[in-house]
């Protein structure tokens, strides 16, 4: 039986960890291997690591760092950033990660989703979509390359297409809520949940356990992902890596 998951999401840049706000103002928050060691002791459901510059700068994945993280980790791992071929996806999986995440590459060539699913299994293919709420019209727009490039696709239609092509999970990341710690965009979560039945995770906005519980209560079984909540402490956002779970996970 599926159950909701709590997923810390760490952002990689130049081999270190950073945290952004609205995809800007990246703040250094530590070493990824140290973070993995801490989360190992916390009973984390899953850890997601995204290299936020790999696609924007056309870098391939840092396989040496990926290997080092996998060796250190005792929890399920998902990696995203710079993966553009099924062979690269297979290599990441072979190094010890359970999932790979793709975004711009999937939007540019959706057939890649099926190729990766065939290579590593649908359960290991995650499509992550960064979205921003439209200011003049209802709905949401998909962006890539750290929120700089607008994509002319319908969010819900592409989620359905990705699943039909073999994506085992969809992750929706709210640019508007990124780093704000004021709560998830529950309307966005409801819209996507109503459009697909496959595993879904929501990222962007969590600042306290109550926000995760609100998300779970609103959409049911879901991955509640967060970054700032697990790396900052207090009103001055002091860096402190921690992990807490909601008490009423479904």
As a whole number of angstroms, the distance between CA 123 and CA 225 comes to: 18
Please give the angle made by the CA atoms of 39, 79 and 37, to the nearest 5 degrees.
Answer: 20
Q: What value does the mean pLDDT take over residues 11-21?
A: 95
pLDDT at 244: 75
Q: What is the DSSP letter of 84?
A: -
CA nearest to 229, candidates 44, 3, 1, 77: 44
Beta bridge partners of 101: 80, 126
11 φ, ψ (degrees, to nearest 5): -105, 125
Q: How far is CA 203 from the centre of its chain?
A: 6
Q: Give the fold, CATH level 3, of 5-236.
A: TIM Barrel (3.20.20)
Q: How confident is the model at residue 92 (pLDDT cuts 50, 70, 90)?
A: very high
Question: Of 45, 130, 178, 185, which residue is the catalytic one?
Answer: 130
Please report, for the chain, the start and end positions of each structural domain, with discontinuous segments joined by +.
5-236
Burial 96-114 (b: 16+ CB within 10 A, else e): ebbbbbbbbbbbeebebbb
As a whole number of angstroms, the distance between CA 193 and CA 73 comes to: 30
Q: Would you call 130 a catalytic residue per the annotation? A: yes
Strand positions, DSSP E, 52-193: 77-80, 99-102, 125-133, 140-144, 149-151, 169-174
Q: What value does the mean pLDDT take over residues 73-77?
A: 96
Cβ neighbors of 74 (< 8 A, separation 6 or more) are 40
Taking only the tens place, the pLDDT of each residue in 180-239 is 999 999 999 999 999 999 999 999 999 999 999 999 999 999 999 999 999 988 776 878
């Amino acid at each position: 039986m599926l159950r909701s998951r709590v997923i810390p999401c760490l952002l990689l840049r130049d081999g270190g960890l950073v945290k952004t706000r609205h995809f800007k103002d990246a703040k250094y928050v530590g070493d990824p291997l140290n973070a993995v060691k801490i989360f190992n002791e916390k009973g984390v459901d899953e850890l997601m690591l995204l290299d936020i510059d790999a696609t924007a700068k056309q870098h391939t994945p840092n396989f040496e760092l990926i290997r080092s993280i996998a060796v250190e980790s005792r929890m399920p791992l998902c990696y995203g950033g710079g993966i553009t071929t099924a062979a690269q996806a297979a290599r990441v999986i072979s190094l010890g990660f359970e999932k790979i995440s793709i975004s711009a590459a999937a939007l540019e060539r959706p057939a890649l989703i099926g190729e990766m699913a065939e290579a590593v299994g649908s359960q290991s293919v995650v499509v992550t979509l960064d979205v921003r709420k439209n200011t003049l019209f209802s709905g949401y727009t998909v962006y890539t390359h750290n929120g700089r490039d607008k994509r002319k696709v319908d969010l819900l239609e592409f989620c359905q297409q990705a699943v039909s092509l073999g994506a085992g999970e969809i992750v929706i990341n709210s640019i508007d809520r990124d780093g704000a710690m004021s709560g998830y965009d529950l309307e966005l979560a409801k819209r996507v949940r109503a459009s697909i039945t496959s595993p879904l995770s929501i990222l962007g906005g969590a600042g306290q356990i109550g926000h995760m519980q609100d998300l779970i209560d609103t959409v049911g079984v879901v991955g509640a992902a967060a970054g700032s909540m697990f790396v900052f402490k207090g009103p001055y956002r002091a860096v402190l890596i921690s992990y807490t779970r909601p008490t009423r996970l479904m």
